[in-house]
């Protein structure tokens, strides 16, 4: 019976196991490199602390949900001097050009009993959408978050509400505040008129739009009568109206 029990023993007695563990730890300790100006014991503490720090950072990075960034727009006072001038049956066509490609975006204007203003349909190679725009230029049924600067994700090239305030000396600004985890960053966008000019045989307001991010400003030319976009220079992209309910003469313009 004693012989059988001896056969079942699978490890050294407790004193031998403790002696083996102490030897293993001592061997590992002596393998710890000594950092400059530190002894081996202090070096071990430093290495353990550094490894623990990076382990904690890795845990936080992998387990913390993605940071959500919130943005809110704070508009300055905007005085509109015109009502929406789009009318039923009008059609507009733009060409967008960049160094890599060119594409067309078409717009048509219609009426509907369900819309208190006009329906504006946008068609492009990427997508299509239909917006109901009121006489004050705002999007029908929109909440307070929709600004005069644009229609958010539903923005269109043809028209933005701020175009109804364009004049020879108009000036306007919008603050966009980005916040995440209690940290805020503010970017101010300025809309400044450079006066009235002749473009494509039309009278237009030249509006410079720039912000405090340091990016080069963009230029927008707004038709003085219809309050729609005639031409825009966005730096790496130009937007040009090539067909409209009125005559266009780009041969007489600098932007041709």
- 162-174 pLDDT, tens per residue? 999 999 999 999 9
Q: What is the mean pLDDT of residues 133-160?
A: 85
120 with 182, same domain? yes
Mean of the per-residue pLDDT values of the chain: 81
For the cut 70, the answer to whether the pLDDT of residue 3 exceeds it is: no
For the cut 50, the answer to whether the pLDDT of residue 38 exceeds it is: no
Using one digit for the tens of pLDDT, what is the confidence trace for 186-219?
999 999 999 999 999 999 999 999 998 888 999 9
In a domain, 7, yes or no: no
Which pLDDT band, with edges at 50, 70 and 90, does 4 fall under? very low
- Side by side, the strands of the sheet bearing 202-211 are 70-75, 171-180, 183-199, 202-211, 218-223, 229-233, 238-243, 91-97, 102-110, 118-124, 128-133
Considering its fold, how many domains does the chain have in total?
2
Res 63: pLDDT: 59
Q: What is the mean pLDDT of residues 5-22?
A: 52
In a domain, 161, yes or no: yes
For the cut 90, the answer to whether the pLDDT of residue 16 exceeds it is: no
User: Is residue 86 within 8 Å of residue 228, measured between CB atoms?
Assistant: yes
Q: Which of 1-10, 151-160, 218-227 has the least mean pLDDT?
A: 1-10
For the cut 80, the answer to whether the pLDDT of residue 74 exceeds it is: yes
pLDDT over 90, % of the chain: 54
In a domain, 6, yes or no: no
| Cβ-proximal residues to 186 (8 Å cutoff; 6+ apart), any chain | 175, 176, 177, 178, 212
In a domain, 95, yes or no: yes
For the cut 60, the answer to whether the pLDDT of residue 123 exceeds it is: yes
In a domain, 196, yes or no: yes
Res 1: pLDDT: 46
157 with 202, same domain? yes
221 lies in which domain range? 70-252
């Amino acid at each position: 019976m004693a012989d059988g029990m001896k056969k079942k023993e699978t490890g050294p007695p407790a004193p031998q196991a403790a002696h083996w563990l102490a030897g293993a730890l001592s061997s590992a300790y002596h393998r710890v490199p000594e950092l400059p100006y530190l002894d081996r014991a202090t070096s071990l503490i430093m290495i353990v602390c550094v490894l623990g720090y990076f382990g904690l950072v890795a845990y936080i990075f992998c387990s913390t949900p993605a940071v959500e960034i919130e943005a809110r727009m704070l508009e300055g006072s905007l005085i509109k001097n015109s009502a929406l001038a789009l009318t039923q049956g009008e059609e507009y066509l733009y060409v967008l050009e960049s160094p890599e490609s060119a594409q067309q975006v078409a717009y048509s204007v219609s009426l509907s009993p369900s819309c208190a203003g006009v329906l504006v349909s946008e068609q492009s190679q990427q997508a299509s959408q239909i917006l109901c725009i009121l006489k004050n230029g705002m999007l029908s049924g929109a909440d307070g978050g929709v600004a005069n600067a644009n229609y958010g994700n539903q923005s269109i090239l043809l028209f933005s509400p701020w175009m109804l305030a364009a004049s020879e000396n108009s000036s306007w600004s919008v603050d966009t505040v980005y916040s995440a985890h209690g940290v805020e960053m503010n970017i101010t966008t300025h809309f400044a008129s450079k006066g009235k000019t002749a473009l494509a045989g039309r009278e237009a307001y030249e509006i410079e739009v720039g912000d405090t991010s340091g990016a080069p400003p963009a230029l927008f030319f707004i038709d003085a009568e219809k309050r729609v976009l005639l031409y825009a220079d966005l730096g790496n992209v130009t937007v040009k109206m090539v067909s409209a309910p009125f005559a266009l003469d780009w041969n007489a313009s600098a932007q041709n």
